[in-house]
């Protein structure tokens, strides 16, 4: 037999399958070592066949099998084919998603610990052991082992001496053995709750359980108790001997969700997120693979978990943009999840208080069943949102960052000993530094973006490449010392709040404070324990946290996302406001939200304060329809990236020319196609150009394959070309 192998090499620019002579017992999906050049490297066996075109003498044989059981199962091969077709990915990149780095290359191993075990016949206290009278350690150890028949070797040696262990082992009383121990991620305990479902919850759950292969959108207001429904769905899966996958956005995975799940399902849950250590990820994956854990809770990439016989796939906060992979390998988690749900013929459940426009449109088309929950599980009202017109505020003589209403409500919240959340969607201290006299703005030398002031380390930082620069004190162009700071960020807000409330603990949560492992969790945990307290943060604070004592939410600058030049800006702003507002008034305490804006009459704000998703949706979907934006069209970007600008432009022109030919027959179904600079012209010293196109949604399947073919047939060795479909963030 001949084995077709994809070698695990990233330098390989072509996606090639190599033939090797098979060895005894080899199966498709196994991980193997194969000779490649003068080395042995890892590879995936993707097929076994009878014949090869390679002449006899030249054919090399597979070196060895790395794991007995195939690591890539049939379902995953089918998924790989689907992803290759849809996203034009290299097979090796797809297989690597299925088998994380820790599982390959032998970099991470099982953790093995030594144990001491008391032999059975010595469990009987009557059994005489020949120990010298003054060998106290041996007597004590025997006594201890009779109470604890299995003990940690190192611990026992430390307590009783290694000599005693050896002596009893030689007498046949004890034996030593090795055992694999699981490294489990850290979980914070929360109280266990036993709840009776509300009528709405019961209704939603019944609809799902009555149809075991349905597709649903649970549209439930913040605090409507969606998590409880997910857990009941999963309980049902477990009872039927099936597995389940639940996806959550990275940040909301940190707090209560995890402990809720482990409280209920114990070791049957495996957790996969980016904060795990390599060892933890390895062990969690092993526990799933070996079927010790049947429930997977994790972020985007957990959709590739090696579970079989799936009973339900749940995507919580389905609108969250972390579900779209924005860098290579690019894929859409919803689509991958739906593929697996179809394959397993199981329930597919999306949940959100603010469903994406695309998803909600699918309920209108009948592709998803809509299940609505309009009330909070505890019957508390949704918080009241007050809009403050910041123009009017200025004319009233208030030029501070905080409106009078904001100040009053925050003070009341603090005086009552409650907690407050302040949202500002910009990290750092201020957004840019500009010379007042000549208009010079400090920019990154490698990227075409302005630098952000970070006061804590007194540096300017590039948010694209992370490069650091000295703070401007004098303009390098005209020498002026009049330097102005741009719009405020989280650091500045913390500084200002600290001046106003010097004795109140203030926590900051943004990309800068959450770089290290578990840091989200630590911040949220500390915040949860302090009253009064203020949590200042970027959109991270909006995501799914359930704090009982938050009675005030302040939104400092909502317009920031509204005036972003992107067709999704209305949608994102509505989601952000509803989600941040939804963090307060969740338990006994009433919640108040203050939203500061320079466009108080905007329909997005109006619908958000009325808490009227349906009205927002119908307004927005009409807008999309008349302007031919998604879901009625697909936006495809071809992104060209390279170090030699001229070469990038030449390549761009060549592709653009050919592309026009391909698109021509489609006439007015192509709404837009143009070649241009990318919004950020340079990142990390590389030039970026793009062809942006928008075409009728129904054309997608056909057109995208033509585009992929065009790209494949016209490669350039020095310019990278990426194809992006409905990308969230076009930088
Ligand atoms: P959502 O995800 O819909 O925003 P959560 O699942 O976080 O809402 O639930 C909000 C709060 O309501 C949680 O503290 C949860 O424990 C509580 N809860 C859920 N279901 C019930 C119920 N049936 N009765 C009482 N409290 C509930
Ligand atoms: Zn200047
Ligand atoms: Zn940079």
pLDDT over 70 (residue 357): yes
Q: Give the Å distances, CA to CA, from 385 to 289, 378, 554, 581, 615.
A: 47, 20, 10, 8, 17
pLDDT at residue 191, as a whole number: 66
Return the SS3 of 13. coil
User: Ligand 1 in contact with 579 (CB < 6 A)?
Assistant: no
In 3D, which of 255, 263, 268 has the Cα closest to residue 546? 255
Residue 187: predicted pLDDT: 64
What are the respective helix, strand and coil percentages of the chain, to the nearest 5?
Answer: 35, 25, 40
pLDDT for 592: 93
Q: What is the pLDDT of residues 155-207, one digit of tens each?
A: 888 988 889 999 989 988 889 888 877 777 766 666 667 789 999 999 999 99
Spatial contact of 271 and 258, defined as CB atoms under 8 Å apart: yes
Residue 105 CA to residue 112 CA, distance in Å, equals 19
| Whether 562 contacts 570, CB under 8 Å | yes
- The CA distances from residue 437 to 432, 443, 448, 483, in Å, are 15, 17, 22, 8
Selected residue with higher pLDDT from 212 and 616: 616
- pLDDT, tens digit (0-9, with 9 covering 90-100), for 375-387: 988 888 888 999 9
Phi, then psi, of 283 in degrees rounded to 5: -70, -40
> Which one, of 246, 250, 231, 249, lies nearest residue 317 by Cα?
249
Look up residue 185 and give its DSSP letter: P
Of 393-407, 538-552, 716-730, the poorest mean pLDDT is in 538-552
pTM: 0.86
Best residue for ligand 1 mutational test, from 190, 227, 234, 351 (most atoms within 8 Å of Cβ): 227
H/E run at residue 351: strand 347-352
Q: Which residue has the tokens 């001491």?
A: 116
Q: Which of 68-72, 78-82, 323-327, 402-406 has the lowest mean pLDDT?
A: 323-327
Q: Which residues in 276-291 are b (16+ Cβ under 10 Å) and which e? A: beeebbbbbbbbbbee
User: Does ligand 1 come within 6 angstroms of the Cβ of 260?
Assistant: no
pLDDT of res. 524: 86
Q: Which atom of ligand 1 is nearest to the CA of 201?
A: 23
- End-to-end Cα, the chain, rounded Å: 49
| Residue 189 confidence (pLDDT) | 63
What atom of ligand 1 comes closest to residue 227's alpha carbon?
Answer: 6
- Please calculate the CA angle 686-689-694 and round it to the nearest 5 degrees: 145
Which region, left, alpha or beta, applies to residue 135 given φ > 0 means left and ψ of -120 to 50 means alpha?
beta
Best residue among 218, 228, 314, 350 to mutate for probing ligand 1, ranked by most atoms within 8 Å of CB: 228
Q: Is the Cβ atom of 204 under 6 angstroms away from ligand 1?
A: no
Residue 12 has pLDDT above 60, yes or no: no
| Closest ligand 1 atom, residue 582 Cα | 4
pLDDT above 60: residue 221: yes
State the DSSP H helix or E strand holding residue 508, giving kind and residue range, or none if neither: strand 506-509
Reply yes or no: is the peptide bond before residue 592 cis, omega within 30 of 0. Answer: no
CA-wise closest residue to 407 among 397, 394, 398: 398
Give the C-alpha distances (Å, rounded to integers) separating 436 from 42, 273, 449.
Answer: 59, 45, 19
* 187 alpha carbon – ligand 1 mean position (Å): 20
Q: What would the mean pLDDT of 233-241 be, rounded to a whole number? A: 96
From atom 14 of ligand 1, which residue's Cα is the shortest distance away? 546
Cα of 442 vs centre of ligand 2, distance in Å, is: 10
Look at phi and psi of residue 385 and say left if phi exceeds 0, alpha if psi is from -120 to 50, else beta. Answer: beta
Q: Looking at ligand 1, which residue's alpha carbon is closest to its atom 21? A: 377
Q: How far is CA 318 from CA 94, 402, 573, 725, in A?
A: 23, 32, 16, 18
CA of 231 to the centre of ligand 1 (A): 11
pLDDT of residue 72: 94
What pLDDT does residue 106 have? 65
Cβ(42) to ligand 1 under 6 A?
Answer: no
Radius of gyration of the chain (CA): 30
* Residue 243 tokens, joined: 């597995």
Of 227, 215, 202, 200, whose CA–CA distance to 373 is shortest? 200
Question: Which residues are CB-contacts of 350 (< 8 A; sequence separation ≥ 6)?
Answer: 216, 217, 218, 314, 315, 318, 334, 359, 368
Residue of 345, 340, 438 whose CA lies nearest to 75: 340
CA distance linking residue 258 with residue 271, whole number of Å = 8
With beta carbons less than 8 A apart as the criterion, state whether 552 and 421 touch.
yes
| 25-34, 183-192, 391-400, 597-606: range with lowest mean pLDDT | 183-192
Burial of 407 from C-beta contacts in 10 A (0-12 / 13-18 / 19+) = middle
CA of 484 from ligand 2 middle (Å) equals 11
Render pLDDT for 91-145 as a digit per residue (tens, 0 to 9): 999 999 998 777 777 666 777 788 889 888 888 777 777 888 888 888 888 889 8
Count of alpha carbons within 13 Å of 711, Cβ hemisphere only?
Answer: 20
Q: Which of 319, 267, 268, 327 minimizes the C-alpha distance to 301?
A: 327
Q: With CA atoms as reference, report the closest residue to 237 among 312, 314, 287.
A: 312
Best residue among 223, 231, 578 to mutate for probing ligand 1, ranked by most atoms within 8 Å of CB: 223
230 alpha carbon, closest ligand: 1
Ligand 1, atom 27: nearest CA belongs to which residue? Answer: 377
d(CA 129, CA 171): 8
Residue 352 near ligand 1, beta carbon < 6 Å: no
Backbone angles phi, psi at 644, to 5 degrees: -105, 105
In the predicted model, what is the mean pLDDT of the chain? 89
Q: Across 184-341, where does the E strand assignment appear?
A: 215-220, 243-247, 269-272, 295-298, 310-315
User: According to the model, what pLDDT value does residue 388 have?
Assistant: 94
Helix (H/G/I), strand (E/B), else coil: 586: coil
CA of 197 to the centre of ligand 1 (A): 9
pLDDT tens digit sequence for 294-344: 999 999 999 999 999 999 999 999 999 889 887 788 899 999 999 999 999
pLDDT for residue 645 is more than 90: yes
Query: Probe ligand 1: pick from 195, 217, 225, max atoms within 8 Å of CB?
Result: 225
Q: What is the pLDDT of residues 451-480, one digit of tens each?
A: 888 887 888 888 877 889 998 888 988 999
Ligand 1 centroid – CA 378 distance (Å): 7
**DSSP code, position 716:** -
Any ligand 1 atom below 6 A from CB of 263: no
Among 377, 379, 380, 382, which is best to mutate for testing ligand 1, by the most ligand atoms less than 8 A from CB? 377
Residue nearest atom 20 in ligand 1 by C-alpha distance: 225
Tell me the CA distances in angstroms from 556 to 127, 426, 670, one per residue in order.
76, 10, 40
Which pLDDT score is estimated for 194? 79
pLDDT of residue 206: 97
**Strands (DSSP E) along 526-602, which ranges?**
533-537, 550-555, 592-597
């Amino acid at each position: 037999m001949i084995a077709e192998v994809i070698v695990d090499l990233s330098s390989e620019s072509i996606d090639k399958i190599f033939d090797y002579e098979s060895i005894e017992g080899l199966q498709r999906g196994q991980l193997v070592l194969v000779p490649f050049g003068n080395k042995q490297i890892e590879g995936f066996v993707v097929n076994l066949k009878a014949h090869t075109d390679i002449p006899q003498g030249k054919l090399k044989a597979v070196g060895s099998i790395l794991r007995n059981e195939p690591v890539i199962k049939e379902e995953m091969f089918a998924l790989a084919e689907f992803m290759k077709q849809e996203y034009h990915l290299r097979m090796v990149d797809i297989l690597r998603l299925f088998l994380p780095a820790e599982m390959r290359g032998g970099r991470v191993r099982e953790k093995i610990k030594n144990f001491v075990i008391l032999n059975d016949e010595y469990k009987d206290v009557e059994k005489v052991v020949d120990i010298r009278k003054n060998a106290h350690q041996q007597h004590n150890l025997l006594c201890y082992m009779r109470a604890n028949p299995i003990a940690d070797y190192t611990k026992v040696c430390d307590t009783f001496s290694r000599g005693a262990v050896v002596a009893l082992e030689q007498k046949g009383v004890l034996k030593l053995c090795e055992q694999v121990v699981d490294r489990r991620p850290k979980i914070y305990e929360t109280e266990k709750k036993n709840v009776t479902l509300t009528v709405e919850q019961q209704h939603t759950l019944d609809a799902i359980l009555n149809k075991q292969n349905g597709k649903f959108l649970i549209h439930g207001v913040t605090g409507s108790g969606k998590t409880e429904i997910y857990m009941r769905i999963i309980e049902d899966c477990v009872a039927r001997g099936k597995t389940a996958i639940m996806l959550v956005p990275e940040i909301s995975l940190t707090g209560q969700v995890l402990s809720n799940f482990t409280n209920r399902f114990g070791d049957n849950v495996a957790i996969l997120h980016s904060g795990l250590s390599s060892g933890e990820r390895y062990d969690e994956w092993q526990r799933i693979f070996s079927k010790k854990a049947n429930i997977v809770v994790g972020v985007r990439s957990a959709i590739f978990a090696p579970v079989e016989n799936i009973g339900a796939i749940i995507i919580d906060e389905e609108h969250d943009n972390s579900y779209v992979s924005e860098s290579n390998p690019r894929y859409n988690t919803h689509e991958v999840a739906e593929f697996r749900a179809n394959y397993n013929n199981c329930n597919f459940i999306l949940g959100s208080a603010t469903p994406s426009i695309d998803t909600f449109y699918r309920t209108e088309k009948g592709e998803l069943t809509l299940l609505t929950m309009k009330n909070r599980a505890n019957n508390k009202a949704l918080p009241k949102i007050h809009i403050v017109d910041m123009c009017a505020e200025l004319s009233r003589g208030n030029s501070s960052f905080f409106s009078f209403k904001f100040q009053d409500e925050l003070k009341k919240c603090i005086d009552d000993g409650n907690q407050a959340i302040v949202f500002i969607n910009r990290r750092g201290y201020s957004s840019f530094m500009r010379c007042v006299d000549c208009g010079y703005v400090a920019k990154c030398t490698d990227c075409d973006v302005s630098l952000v002031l970070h006061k804590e380390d007194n540096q300017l930082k590039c948010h694209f490449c992370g490069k650091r620069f000295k703070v401007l004190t004098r303009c390098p162009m005209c020498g002026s010392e009049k330097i102005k700071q741009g719009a405020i960020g989280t650091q500045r807000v913390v500084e200002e709040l600290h001046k106003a409330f010097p004795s109140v603990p203030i926590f900051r949560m943004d990309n800068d404070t959450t770089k290290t492992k578990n840091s989200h969790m630590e911040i949220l945990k500390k915040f949860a324990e302090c009253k009064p307290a203020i949590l200042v943060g970027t959109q991270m604070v909006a995501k799914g946290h359930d704090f009982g004592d938050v009675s005030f939410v302040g939104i400092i600058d909502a317009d920031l996302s509204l005036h972003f030049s992107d067709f999704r800006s209305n949608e994102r702003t509505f989601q952000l406001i509803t989600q941040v507002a939804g963090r307060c008034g969740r338990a006994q305490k009433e919640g108040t939200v203050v939203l500061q804006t320079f466009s108080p009459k905007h329909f997005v704000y109006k619908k958000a304060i009325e808490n009227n998703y349906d009205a927002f949706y119908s307004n927005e979907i009409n807008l999309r329809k008349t302007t031919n934006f998604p879901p009625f069209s697909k936006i495809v970007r071809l992104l060209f990236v390279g170090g030699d600008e001229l070469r990038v432009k030449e390549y761009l022109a060549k592709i653009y020319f050919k592309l026009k030919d391909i698109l021509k027959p489609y006439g007015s179904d192509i709404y837009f196609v143009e070649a241009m600079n990318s919004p950020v012209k340079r990142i990390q010293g590389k030039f970026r150009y793009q062809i942006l196109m928008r075409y009728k949604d129904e054309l997608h399947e056909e057109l995208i394959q033509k585009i992929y073919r065009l790209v494949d047939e016209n490669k350039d060795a020095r310019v990278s070309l990426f194809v992006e479909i409905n990308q969230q963030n076009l930088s």
